[in-house]
Chains A and B, each alone.
Chain A
C-alpha cells in the first residue's frame, strides 16, 4: 500500500512519531498488529516491522526508536514523501471481557500498548517504566489515564524498574477478574513472569524478533514456546501477541 508522510517528528532524542496517510482503506487495527515498511536506501533491502501506535481512519501512526540503519534513514524522511507499507499484519492482543486490565510497558514498548490503552484505558491501569524523566514525554498522550510511572534513575515517579512498581501496587488489584497486557524488553518479561507466577493471571505480551517477510513465509522470526506439537511459532504470523506463559524465557 502507498502512503504519504504527514509528520515525522522527534519527541525525545532518537524517538520519533511518524504519521502517514494511507491511500485506500485499511481495516480497524487490533492493538499489537504491525506494518512492514519499505525504507528506500542503498543499505536497506528488507522491509522493517513497526507496531501500530495509533489509527484514526486512514491516518496511521508508528512510534519508533532509531536503532539501526533502517530507522536512521526513516528518521530523515520528510512530510510529503511516499512510503510503501504492508499490513496490518500478525495477531494482536485478544481483548476479551474482563473487569479490569493491567497494562505494562517498558521504554519504547509504550509504542505497542498505546492503541490498546486508547481502546481499554477506562478499564485499565498503565504501568510505564523508562530510564529517566526524559522518557516521560513518550507517555504524554496517556496522562489522562493516570499511569504509574517509574524511572531507573528516580528522576520521575518511582525509582526502579516497571515490574518493581507493579509489585508494590499489585495487592490493590487482587480479587478482580484481571488480565495483564505487556510490551517491553525480554528482561522485563522475565521479571514479570516471576512476579505474576504467584498470582496466575492471564497475561499477553508482544514479542519482538527480527523479520524477513512479516507474513509467515520465511520462518526468520520464530520464538520457542512450550507447545509440544509446534514449539517454534512465527512472531509475525502466530504472534506477535503471545501468552506470557507459553514463551520459553
Chain B
C-alpha cells in the first residue's frame, strides 16, 4: 500500500485523515468497528474548562442534503477528558488534537492552561465558530480583532501548536484567517458547520448544518486561504469519500477531517484511508503530501 504519511507541526502522522470534532465521541466508542490508531490523529469533541450540559431534545434533524445539529457542545470538561482518556490514546499511539471552546475569551486561555504540556497532544484546535451556543463561538469568530486576541492569548499560555477552526459564515474568511495568523496561529481547520434554522413543528431551532451541502463552501475556504497563508490547512466539510478528500488536498489542504459521513457509514474513515493509499501507490495523485 502507498505511504501517505504526512508531517504536521513537526510530527509524522500515519496518514492525513482525521475525524472532525464532535463526530467520533470520545474515541473509544468506534472501536467495536475499527481501531482508533487507523487515524492520522484523533480530534476530540469540543471541550470546555467546566463540563457542559448541552441543549434539550431534539438535537438532530435530517435535511436530506445533510443534517442540522443542536447538540450544544455537551462535554465532560477538559480536565476529566485528559484524566480518563489520554492514556488510551497513548496506548494506541494516536496523537490527539484537543478541540476547545469558551464562553468568554478568558475561558479559552484557561482551556490552554488546563491542557498543560503532554506529548500525546499534537495540537489545540480552537473552535471560534460554533453556531450552537448563544453567547458562544459565533461572536468570537466573526470579529478579526477578537480572533487575533484570542489566538495570541492562547499562544502565550502554551507551547502546543494552535489551530484556529473557522466557519464560512463570516464576511470574509480570508480576513479572519489572516487575523489568526497575525495572532501567531500554527494552522487552520476549515470549516465548521454553517448556521441554519429548522422549523420543528412550528418551533424554530438554530443549529449547525453539516454534510455534503458544505463541501463547496469548505473547498472555497481552503483554496482561498491556502493561496494566501503559509500555514498548514486541514479541510473539513462534506467529505463523503476519497474523491472528496482528494479535492481538498488538491485545493491546498495538508490533511482532512471526516465528520457527518461517519454517521451514514461508520466505516467511511477506514475506507477513505484505504482508497487514498491505493491511489497514491498507483500514482493517481500527482502531489507531494
**Residue B71 contacts which of A46, A220, A237 (CB distance < 8 angstroms)?**
A220
Q: Known contacts A212-B67, A232-B54, A237-B29; is A217 also within 8 Å of B62 by CB?
A: no
Chain A 217-238 interface residues, beta-carbon cutoff 8 Å to B? 217-223, 230-232, 237
Complex Cα spacing A186 to B98, Å: 37
Q: How far is the CB of A225 from chain B (nearest CB, A)?
A: 12
Pick from A37-45, A100-108, A175-183 the stretch touching chain B.
A37-45
Q: In terms of DSSP, what is the predominant structure of the interface of chain B? A: loop
Size range of the chain B interface in the assembly: 20 to 34
Chain A contacts for B58, CB-based, 8 A: 209-210
Establish whether residues A220 and B59, one from each chain, have CB atoms under 8 Å apart when the complex forms.
Answer: yes
**B53 at interface, CB cutoff 8 A:** yes
Establish whether residues A43 and B263, one from each chain, have CB atoms under 8 Å apart when the complex forms.
Answer: no
Pick from B20-28, B137-145, B189-197, B229-237 the stretch touching chain A.
B20-28
Establish whether residues B74 and A212, one from each chain, have CB atoms under 8 Å apart when the complex forms.
Answer: no
Q: Known contacts A217-B30, A218-B23; is A212 also within 8 Å of B65 by CB?
A: no
Q: Chain A: how many interface residues by the 8 Å CB criterion?
A: 28
Establish whether residues B24 and A217, one from each chain, have CB atoms under 8 Å apart when the complex forms.
Answer: yes
The residue in chain B whose Cβ has the minimal distance to the Cβ of A212 is B60
* Interface membership of chain B positions 29-58, coded 1 if the CB is closer than 8 angstroms to chain A and 0 otherwise: 110110000000000010000000110011
**A195 at interface, CB cutoff 8 A:** no
Chain B contacts for A239, CB-based, 8 A: none
Complex Cα spacing A243 to B3, Å: 49
**Residue B53 contacts which of A86, A220, A232 (CB distance < 8 angstroms)?**
A232
Q: Known contacts A210-B57, A213-B266; is A45 also within 8 Å of B29 by CB?
A: no
Q: How far is the CB of B240 from chain A (nearest CB, A)?
A: 11
Chain B 62-78 interface residues, beta-carbon cutoff 8 Å to A? 62-67, 69, 71, 74, 76
Complex Cα spacing A47 to B261, Å: 11
Chain B contacts for A42, CB-based, 8 A: 64
**B102 at interface, CB cutoff 8 A:** no
Chain B contacts for A47, CB-based, 8 A: 263-264
Chain A 191-223 interface residues, beta-carbon cutoff 8 Å to B? 209-213, 215-223
Residues of B within 8 A of A (CB): 22-25, 29-30, 32-33, 45, 53-54, 57-60, 62-67, 69, 71, 74, 76, 211, 262-264, 266
Q: With A47-B264, A213-B266, A237-B29 given, can you name 19 additional A-B contacts, CB distance below 8 Å? A: A43-B62, A45-B63, A45-B67, A46-B263, A46-B264, A210-B59, A212-B263, A215-B29, A215-B266, A216-B29, A217-B263, A218-B22, A218-B69, A219-B25, A219-B45, A219-B59, A221-B59, A222-B74, A232-B54
Q: Rank and list the top 10 A-B pairs by shortest CB-CB distance, nearest first.
A: A220-B60, A216-B29, A43-B64, A213-B263, A212-B60, A217-B25, A220-B59, A46-B62, A210-B58, A210-B60
